[in-house]
Amino acid sequence: MKQIAIVICNYNYERFIAEAIDSALAQDYPGTRVIVIDDGSTDRSREIIESYGSRIEPVFKENGGQVSAYNLGVEILDTEFAIFLDSDDVLYPGTVSEVMRQFEQHGVAKVQFRLDVVDDAGNLTGAYVPNTEPPADCASLLKKGWLYPSPPASGNAYRVGALKRVFPVPESGINRYGADFYAIYGAALTGSVATISRSLGAYRVHRSTTPSVSFANSEQITKAPKAFRERWATLRDIAHERLNLELPSAFHDFAHEKAYFGSSLYQAPVGARWRWMLNESRAYLHSIVANPFWSLKKKAGTLFLSSLCLLPYSPLSDFVIRYITNPLARRGTVEQ
């Protein structure tokens, strides 16, 4: 039987690590191993991890950031397949069996599946990610600079051989975090992607109930765009040096562009909103109009909503911006 490892990378998540480990141990696929890499936690994480004894394979390291944990995880993996599960997320029962069926049937480099978005307490918010399915051949679009729709880290399973062609990734600067960026897009450059269009796990968010344009756990909305640009540059270098592939200098991604849109227009005076739309919205509009993953109806709807932010009534403008940038704000719940 082919083996798969669930690698749980943890840092100071004593509140959630047991739930993540339990969800991994509860998988019914017999060839499942559970590896827990603790990145130098200073809370009770180590005590909790050690309490599982031989049921898991613990790895304790000095703190170096998420990328260093992924680098170590990929290095020590000796299974054919792997899932990198964030320590505050969970997998639903039967996830691994479904993922392995996809690998057997399609021979892909990566299998991705939807994740339900839950709040800090684990309650369902009614949202899920991603909301759009990519084609199997994501590499051809990546070569044109388009980042394909993917769930966050925990919603992806990889052929380990694909990961070993991409990792290790440089660990300095912006690359302390965002390791899943390289796994998600790097693996797709080595082979096809299969998508399971139902939720097989839960992605936890850690925000308040205050309405916001933020839709990211790990980085502030004003920092995320710069981080993405630097990671894309690093991925280009990796693709060139290790995969003999050339990626364009710039990339296109609505999630990235809406971060600029939201941070620039939210709670801004009407004049500033108009100036941004007239002078700085080219990339944002391109990510809508030319989006290869969206239907014409979705493009038209997003353009219409975007135009409403130019109205002089600020409460309506701010609502529209939150609606576009943060799907959870539409439900009056927490934001991602």
- The contacts of residue 71 (CB under 8 Å, 6+ apart) are 167, 168, 169, 171, 179
Q: How far lies 26's CA from each of 3, 97, 125, 146, in Å?
A: 16, 12, 24, 36
* pLDDT over threshold 60, residue 195: yes
| pLDDT at position 222 | 54
Which uninterrupted H or E stretch holds 229? helix 224-242
* pLDDT over threshold 90, residue 220: no
| pLDDT at position 333 | 39
Q: Where are the alpha helices (DSSP H) in 80-178?
A: 95-106, 138-142, 160-166
pLDDT in tens, 129-139: 998 999 999 99
Which runs of E-coded beta strand occur in the chain? 4-10, 32-39, 57-61, 81-86, 90-91, 110-118, 124-129, 156-159, 193-204
Q: Domain coordinates of the chain in residue numbers?
A: 4-206, 209-336
C-alpha to C-alpha distance for 113 and 148, rounded to whole angstroms: 14
pLDDT band at 336, cuts 50/70/90?
Answer: very low
| pLDDT at position 329 | 66
| pLDDT at position 334 | 36
| pLDDT at position 335 | 36
Q: Quick one: tokens of 255?
A: 């999630």
| pLDDT at position 74 | 98
* pLDDT over threshold 80, residue 213: no
pTM check: above 0.75: yes
Q: Is the CATH number of domain 4-206 3.90.550.10?
A: yes
pLDDT in tens, 302-327: 999 999 999 999 999 999 999 998 87
pLDDT in tens, 65-92: 999 999 999 999 999 999 999 999 999 9
pLDDT band at 331, cuts 50/70/90?
Answer: low
Report the share of the chain in percent with pLDDT over 70: 92
Q: Is residue 303 a contact partner of residue 297, using CB atoms and an 8 Å limit?
A: no
| pLDDT at position 211 | 52
SS3 186: helix
C-alpha to C-alpha distance for 321 and 306, rounded to whole angstroms: 7
